[in-house]
Structure formats: C-alpha cells, structure tokens
Chains A and B, each alone.
Chain A
Amino acid sequence: MKTKAFTADISHFRYLANDGTAGTGLPAFTAEPAALIPLYKAMVLTRVVDERAVAMQRTGRLGTYASALGQEAVGVGTASAMRADDVLVPGFRDQGAQVWRGVSIVEHLSYWGGSERGSDYAGPRQDLPVSIPVGTNFPHAAGAALAFKRRGEDRAAVVMAGDGATSKGDFYESMNIAGVWKLPVVFVINNNQWAISVPRAEQTAAETLAQKAIAAGIPGEQVDGNDVIAVRDRVEAALVRARAGEGPTLIEAITYRLGDHTTADDASRYREDDAVRAHWKEEPLARLRTYLAAQKVWDKAKEEKLLADCRARVDAAVEEFEALEPEPLAAVFDHTYAELPADVAAQRAAALAEAEA
C-alpha cells in the first residue's frame, strides 16, 4: 500500500511588478510611500559605490571586487528588516546590507583595497566580516543564534550567500541544526542565477532553492529579489518567527547578476549579452523609482539630488580611503593571538629588525 508521507508547497512573494506597478495587499510599512525612500536611497548608494569600486579596480586603485549590480534590493531589503542588535553574517556580495547596517564606505573600500582594517567595523561591532569561502558562513549564523537563545536575548542572526552556496553541505547542515534547535536564524539566498560561470539550472536539479528547506524541516519560500518591498517584508516575517522561538526560515531571493562575477571575471565567455539585457527590465532601482514617482513622492529633481549626494559621499570616502596609510609591518603579527606566543613574537622581532636594517 502506498500512502502520501509528506507534501509541501513553495510560495513566491512579490508586490511590485517589473514596471513598478503595485499589486494589492502591500505590507503595512508601505502605507506611507515616503517611508520607502530610505530603501531607495540605500539601493542607489550601493550601486554608486559598486560603480566606483569597479572603476577603481580597473585603474589599479582597488583589488578584485564583487559588484552587487542588479541585486541591491536583496541586501537593502534584508538589512532594513533587521534590528541594529541583530547580527549579519554576510557573504562577499552583500555590501547593500552591510552599508545599511552601518559599515562605512571607507571600511568597505579598505577591505577590498586589501586591508584587514576594513573588517573592523566601527558601526555593527558584532556583525561578522564577509565570508570569502562560499557558504562557510552558514554555521556561524547558527552559532550566533545559539548564543542569543542561550542568553534569552531577543536577537536573531541573518546569513546571506549566493545560489552556488546552496550546493554545499554547510548550507543544508546549518539549516538542519538550526531547525532542530529552533534557532533564531534567517537564511537569505541571493539567487542571482550565476555561480561565476555555472548557471542556476546546472547548480541543482531542484526546481527551487527554497525547497531545500523542506529537507531540513524548516519553512522555505521564494521572494522576488528585485522587489525591495517583498524582500523586506519576507525577511521581517522570518525575523518575527525567529524572535517568537519558532526557528529558522530560508528565503530564496530571485534576482539577476547584471555584472561579472567579480572584476577578475569576464562573463562574455559564458553568457549572452542579450540575456543580460533582458534582465535589465527587471532591475530593482527603476522598479521602485517608478513606484515612488507614481505615488508622487519622487521626481527628477530628487533623483538628481540623490545621485549628486551619493557621488559626493563616495568621493569623500574614496578620498579618505586613499589617504589611509598602510598599517605598519607589526600589524601582520599583532592580531594573530590575544597574546603573541614566544615563537611568533620572535618572528615579529626579526621581521621588524630586518625592515629597519
């Protein structure tokens, strides 16, 4: 005899259509359209930062850089749903979320410019630095959430990674443990359709990435990752669940990587420009801008002023970044341990002596 042991559905959430028109049932935080302006401004700032960073890399003023072009709503939507004392566990394309949470543009440039100081955030002191080894940050969110839960704190951890990361064991294993322990974690997947050159369809035979939550026994859902209202709304809902002790949620934010993987990549080797152009019609900034304009809270003058402001902010940050003196040689050693062991201290002394000779 065969009976049905389990069934599941995966929902998809979207409020703003590609053309910026809104459906019905918008979340409460949109009631006053002007309240959306900070989200828009943060997305524009992220794009301006990315544009400048790529340009700086091209002229040798920054190291390899991963732009979030086209995916700004995922970062900004996610971070705007968080509270200041929550903890963000970001991947390497989550500057939209990081800048919202108070990582300064100077810190951001400093990190990608090759200095560890860039991860010594003056703002979100408890946020983790970006994780470069893909998906290895998932368990950190579970660990942070364990600490919050243990102390009975009303805090949650939000971890971000790309679609490629969902093929790693770390992803499933972390959802699994967070599910068993009902940890206050939100897993946000920036499904930008590409893991360097490997398209989403070759990453997994699973129809959605969200359904990978089902095996871990936690809720999973899709959201239009180019609709910042939807991203914020669903991450907020997941955080409400997390804070209520109901455990983790997986959110697959569907977007598109309009740029190269990083400045070291040349996407023309593996994808057609036409396909990329088609996705520009869905990008998140124009979508929200159109909506805000239709709501009469945004116009051309405001747009021009915003762009000028963002550029001025980035100009100032670049100037500050470029004026930073490199740390001294001793910095190579000084943070390896709380207290340098004798042999590392000897290496430090020898290196300093050699540098002075």
Chain B
Amino acid sequence: MPEVTLVEAVRMALDHAMEEDERVVILGEDVGLDGGVFRATDGLIQRYGSDRVLDTPLSEAVIAGVAVGAATQDLRPVAEIQFMGFLYPAIDQIVNHAGRLRTRTRGRLTCPMVLRAPYGGGIHAPEHHSESVEAMLTHIPGIRVVIPSSPAKAYGLLLASIRNPDPVVFLEPKRLYRTGKQQVEDDGAALPLDRAFVEREGSDLTLISWGAMMKETLAAADALAQDDVQAEVLDLATLKPLDQATILASVEKTGRAVIVHEAALTGGYGGEIAARIAEHGLLSLVAPVKRVAGYDTVMPLPKLEHHYLPSVGRIVRAARQAMEYA
C-alpha cells in the first residue's frame, strides 16, 4: 500500500476518477503541464491529454461557470480554484446556478461538478492566500461542502464527491498537504459524504473540528489526556450536509463541547454547530459550548498568522474551562 501525502492522495483520487469515468475532466489555472501550483494534478495531462486536463485562462467566474455548463451536458468537471481567497468570483455561479439547477428545472438538468480549492493559513503564503471562508459556502442550498483532514479521507471523500450527482465544494487544507503520510490503497473506495468521523473516543468532553485544525485538535486531546481528561474528537469532514446525529450522540455522552475552527468566529460554522447542540442537545450539556476560532479580524500576513490560527494551548484552555463545570 503506498504511503502518500494529502496532496498526493488528491492526485490519486483524481487519477482514479479519470480512469474510471471518461466524463471526468479537470479544469483550472495551471492544472496542465504545471500540475497545479500545489501539484495536485501532477502528471494527469500526460496521462489523459489536454482535452481532459484543461488549463483555463485566469478567470475564476468562468472556471466555475464553464463547469456548470459542462455538468449540465453530462461531463463531470472537477474545477480547481487556485486559492480560496480567489474563490469569490466563482460564488456567483455556485449560488445562482450550481446549487439551484436541479431545483429550478425540477431535476431535468443537474450539476454534478466538484470545485476544489486549497484553503486556510499556516504556509506563509502571500496576502489573500490563507482564507478559510467555508461558512460562506455552507449557507448555500443545493451544494455540499467537504473538507478532508488526512490523505485517506482526501482520497475517499474526493472520489465520493466526483461520483456525487450534485455540486460539491471540496476544500483542501493546504497546511496539511505535505505534513504527513498515510498508507492509502488506490482501490476506488469512497467515503460517505454525510458522516462525521469519531477520531478518538473519550467520555469527558467533545472536541469538534475539521480540516487543517484537526491536527491541533488531536494534539490538544493528547495534552488533555495527560491530565486524565478524556476528550472525544470528531472530524466533521462533511460540513454540508452536517452529521448532526454523531455530534449529538457524542455530546450526550460527554456533556461538554468545544468547537475548533480557523475561520473568523462571528458567522463561522461553529455557530451552526453550537445552535444544533442548543436546539437538540441542551439538556445533556453540563458546561456552556465553547468556540475556539480565528478572530473577527482580517487574516494576518505571515508574520502574524500564528497569532491568528487557534493553537493547541487555546484549545486546551477552552477544554479545561469546560471541565470546570461539574
């Protein structure tokens, strides 16, 4: 079984999807001979040709819009937006068309497309390259929002996203692209697009996160264990649809929830999770729900970004505060 990084797992899933379904095409900026700025499409143009791996002009609205049009006519486009900070022109297409087509034609036309974008900070990238605005996307009806946190999840979730008959925004934690390897079998096995992963079982409190912040969240669970606090750790992986049942089951067991995300606090997806717990699980809580998140500030440039990104220490402190309630 090959040991691969997260970005290699993305490439492996793309390769597998193109091999199994000739309707799959890749389009985006520099996805051809360059193999994508993070090399997620490395080698695919050599393998599948320039009529299936398409370098686009520098035009995010059109990358998304062309994918929508192609998807209505039985292609399975996988479009890449180079960085999440450049995704905004594509949101027009996602909101107004991709998410609506099935509804507005009563299923006559559909939009089976995937829009991939690396997201988040921590790689000392230039301004506008480190955003984490998944909550803007989770608000859009008719789409799915998926964020893997490991090579195996990237492989299985991306395959599932490409095979899914509806539009999926697939956000890749670029901070984790090359930080660790994992054995991933290229067996074409997909992961479900509506299940959270229980990454670690525990009985004292529930740590809930996704994507890049899973690293710090799991490290926080390790630190807490040394104080004999057993944290259960959930990786949501599919933000939309949200696997509410797994969250509620865990909170019912632990009575405490700490939500961790790198996006700004206000309007962040942590608010949605806290609301779901309040609506459906309030009576199992013994402590207020805590959110550890980015600040309501502009994402700092690299010199200060480490102050912005939630640290293991901040997560541990929030967990300890939750543990103060008996």
Contact = CB atoms under 8 A, between A and B. Distances in A.
Q: Please indicate whether A and B come from the same complex rather than being unrelated chains.
A: yes
Interface of A: 87, 89, 116-117, 119-121, 125-126, 128-129, 131, 133, 136, 138-150, 157, 169-170, 173-174, 176-177, 180-181, 331, 335-338, 341-344
14 contacts: A87-B73, A116-B106, A119-B106, A120-B107, A139-B65, A145-B69, A157-B69, A174-B65, A174-B66, A176-B57, A336-B103, A338-B110, A342-B194, A342-B245
Given A117-B106, A144-B70, A133 B96 contact: yes
B10 interface: no
A158 to B, nearest CB: 12
Nearest to A340: B241
Contact of A120 (B68, B108, B110): B108
Interface string B65-99: 11111111111010000000000010011001100
B214 to A, nearest CB: 22
A301 B104 CA distance: 42
B242 A343 contact: yes
Nearest to B99: A336
B103 A341 contact: no
Contacts of B203: none
Given A139-B69, A142-B69, A342-B194, A181 B54 contact: yes
Nearest to A142: B66
A300 to B, nearest CB: 42
A337 B61 contact: no
Nearest to A331: B106
A144 B101 CA distance: 14
B59 A143 contact: no
A117 B25 CA distance: 31
B68 A147 contact: no
Given A119-B106, A133-B92, A176-B59, A140 B68 contact: yes
Given A147-B75, A150-B75, 14 more contacts: A116-B105, A136-B92, A138-B65, A139-B62, A139-B93, A142-B66, A146-B66, A147-B70, A147-B74, A169-B89, A170-B62, A335-B106, A338-B102, A343-B241
Contact of A147 (B64, B73, B89, B242): B73
Contacts of A148: 73
Contact of B241 (A129, A335, A344): A344
Contacts of B74: 147
A149 B75 CA distance: 11
Interface in B43-60: 51-52, 54, 56-57, 59
Pick from A146, A157, A170 the residue with the most CB of B within 10 Å.
A146
A148 B51 CA distance: 12
Interface in B252-277: none
**A interface secondary structure, majority:** helix
B241 A342 contact: yes
B286 interface: no
A61 B68 CA distance: 33
Given A139-B68, A142-B66, A169 B61 contact: yes
A121 B108 contact: yes
B137 to A, nearest CB: 15
B72 A338 contact: no
Contacts of B106: 116-117, 119-120, 331, 335
B141 interface: yes
Contacts of A145: 69
Contacts of B89: 169
A223 B141 CA distance: 41
B97 A140 contact: yes
A331 B262 CA distance: 37
Interface string B1-31: 0000000000000000000000001000000
B32 interface: no
Given A136-B93, A150-B51, A337-B166, A170 B72 contact: no
A144 B73 contact: yes
B238 to A, nearest CB: 9
Contacts of B64: 139
Given A116-B104, A143-B77, A174 B62 contact: yes
B142 interface: yes
Nearest to B65: A139
B57 A177 contact: yes
A87 B108 CA distance: 14
Contacts of B142: 336-337
Pick from A136, A143, A144, A344 the residue with the most CB of B within 10 Å.
A143
A110 B91 CA distance: 29
Contacts of A335: 102-103, 106-107
B284 to A, nearest CB: 19
Given A133-B92, A143-B65, A170-B61, A119 B97 contact: no
Contact of B61 (A116, A141, A173, A343): A173
Contacts of A126: 72-73, 109
A16 B176 CA distance: 66
